[in-house]
Structure 1
């Protein structure tokens, strides 16, 4: 996996002895040392003002975020560093699935952009279409994201 960091050097995958690497998928065009913060309109659902920002320790979950985010331009995946406490994302954990298989989290504190993953592989057109159809069915049923 090729990544760029604030020093524009490739970032090595994190070893088990280090803290986990976190990702954030979006269509926003950001640069190192920018902050992703709550308070902006969500990229999903009714696009309400978001009380949380979301991050994940898996590239696959970040890829979905980049592919499904609203907006123009290409999806992007950023390496991010949380600046405060975080909790499991209830949309993808115990309230919907046992445990936290996607290693997805949320925080009310900003995420600092440390770099960008530049060579990620998107899902197949069929997978992407199926996911968008699934999300549209949920919307029609009135099922929104959990926002405590």
Structure 2
């Protein structure tokens, strides 16, 4: 199976993505999980919503340990995990970078950013 991770981090093939960095959601606490997906669409959202100034990137990744369905999406918003979104407390190994992907239209991206900001103001946090 192919897995993706959207981010602004500038990494190289073979590098490891780990948990413990600031979350992109809620109060932006340190995340105890690293998130990834088996759909490019979910990874595009991850890259577009990632905090920071660097270029948005999508990496092909390989989990190095156990992982579970992302409870922030699975069965809470989208029953049965149609986004194929996962999380792990073990690192993800970078296998390569996806080039030439196309982001969402500006209006759609702004709606999503507004939704994330609204959730933050309401105190909605990622499920840890």
**Contact 1:44–1:70 (Cα < 8 Å) also in 2:** no
- TM-score, reference length from structure 1: 0.83
- TM-score, reference length from structure 2: 0.96
Select the residue among 72, 75, 83 that pairs with 2:64. 83
Describe how 1:15-26 pairs up with structure 2 within 5 A. Answer: 20-26=1-7
The CA distance in 2 between the partners of 1:39 and 1:68, in whole Å, is: 18
**Contact 2:67–2:89 (Cα < 8 Å) also in 1:** yes
In structure 2, list runs of 5 or more residues that go unmatched.
none
1 or 2 for the larger relative contact order (CA 8 Å, sep ≥6)? 2
Select the residue among 64, 68, 81 that pairs with 2:49. 68
**Contact 1:41–1:49 (Cα < 8 Å) also in 2:** yes
Q: Which residue of 2 aligns with 1:125?
A: 106
The CA distance in 2 between the partners of 1:40 and 1:134, in whole Å, is: 22
Tell me by how many angstroms 1:97 deviates.
2.2
What is the RMSD computed on CA atoms of the aligned residues? 0.9
In structure 1, list runs of 5 or more residues that go unmatched.
1-19
**Contact 2:38–2:84 (Cα < 8 Å) also in 1:** yes
The CA distance in 2 between the partners of 1:30 and 1:45, in whole Å, is: 25
